[in-house]
Amino acid sequence: MTLPNFLIIGAAKAGTTSLWRYLDNHPQIFMSQIKETLFFAYQDPYIMAHWSKLDLPFEITSVESYRNLFAGVTDEIAVGEASPIYLESPKAPERIKKIIPGVKLIASLRHPVDRAYSGYLMHLRNGTAGPDIEKAFDPEALYVQGSFYYEKLNRYYQLFSRDQIRICLFDELKQSTEQLIKDLFSFLGVDDTVKPVIDHQHNVGSIPKLNWLNALSNHQLTKQGYSVLPGFLKSAAKKMYHFNKTIPPELPHHIRRQLQTMYQDDISRVQDLIQKDLSGWLNTG
C-alpha cells in the first residue's frame, strides 16, 4: 500500500485546513480524509508533555494503520496529509526522514503576532485559556511559543533538501489564493492548468459570546454525553455552538507591540533561512 509523498507540516492557525481542502479538490491529488493524523508526532516526549491539555487523539500509532489511511489511492500522482503538529514536534522530522525520506513538505507561515492571537482564540474556545486578554500572552503559552518558527523550520532544513520544502505565506493564501494553489500544484507535480476550487475560507477564527456557555460546551461530561445524543439533539447542540460564536475584536495595540518585539529576532532568522522577504513582518507599527 501507498505512503504519502507530501505532507502539510504547519504552522497551526496559518491556513493549513484551507490548503488541505483546496489540494484535495485536485483530481490528481489524494489527501487523507483525516486531517491531523498526528502519526509522526506520536510519543514525542515534548508533544506528550506540552499538549496534554488539548487531549490529542493519537489514533494512528503504527505504520500499518498509517498506510491504511491511503488505501483508497488509485492513479493519483500526489498523496498527502496535513498535521500542523509536525512543525511543533522535535521528533517528527527525524521520523519523517526515516519512513518517507523523499517526501515533499509544505509549510504555511502566518505573521507571528496574528498566529499567536489566533492560537489564543482557539484555546479560548477550547476552554484551555481564560478570557482575560491582559494575562493571556505569557511567553511560555503554547500559542505564543508556536509563533517562533526558526528552530522548528531549521530542523527540517537540516534533514531535507531545499527543493523538498515549499514555504507559503498566509497573506499569499488570502490575497493570491488561486496563484498560490497553482504553484503548489506545480511543486507536487500535478497538472497546474486545473483551476483550483477555492470556494471559501476554512476554520475561521472566532470567540464565544457567552463564556459560561462555552465552558459548558467544553466540560468533559458534555463531551462524553454528546456521543450518545439522538440526531436531532446533536443538531441542536451544533446550532447552539455556532450561535455562541462571534467575530473577535482586534488585538490591543500594546499587546501587539509587546509580541512584535518578542518575535523580532526570530523573524529575521526565519527570513534568512527560507529566503523570502518578510520585511512586512518586521515593522513594529
CA distance 121 to 123: 5
Give the tens place of pLDDT for each residue, 164-222. Answer: 999 999 999 999 999 999 999 999 999 999 999 887 554 555 655 445 445 545 544 45
Q: Is the dihedral of CA 155, 156, 162, 168 positive or negative?
A: negative
**Cβ burial 5-36 (10 Å sphere, 16+ → b, else e):** bbbbbbbbbbbbbbbbbbbbebeebbbbeebb
The structural domains of the chain, with segments of one domain joined by +, span 6-205+247-282, 207-245
The whole-model pTM stands at: 0.84
Distance CA 273, CA 271 (A): 5
42-57: average pLDDT: 78
Residue 9 clears pLDDT 80, i.e. is over it: yes
The residue-averaged pLDDT of 52-75 equals 88
Give per-residue pLDDT as tens, 126-146. Answer: 778 888 999 999 999 989 999
**Beta strand 207-208 with 245-246: parallel, antiparallel or unpaired?**
antiparallel
pLDDT score, position 64: 95
The three-class DSSP label of residue 34 is: coil
pLDDT in tens, 98-135: 999 999 999 999 999 999 999 999 888 877 888 899 99
Judge contact between 208 and 245, C-beta under 8 A: yes
**pLDDT of 235:** 61
Mean pLDDT of 216-229: 51
Average pLDDT, the chain: 86
pLDDT for res 250: 86
> Of the given ranges (55-59, 91-95, 194-198, 206-210), which has the lowest mean pLDDT?
206-210
Q: Which of 240-244, 258-262, 272-276 has the lowest mean pLDDT?
A: 240-244
Residue 212: its pLDDT value, please?
42
Which class is 6-205+247-282 in CATH?
alpha beta
For residues 125 and 205, give the distance between their C-alpha atoms in angstroms, rounded to a whole number: 10
Pick the more confident residue, 238 or 93: 93
Ranges 75-89, 193-207, 268-282: which has the least confidence: 193-207
Residue 211, pLDDT score: 58
Do residues 136 and 252 make contact, with C-beta atoms less than 8 angstroms apart? no
pLDDT score, position 127: 79
More confident residue, 239 or 56: 56
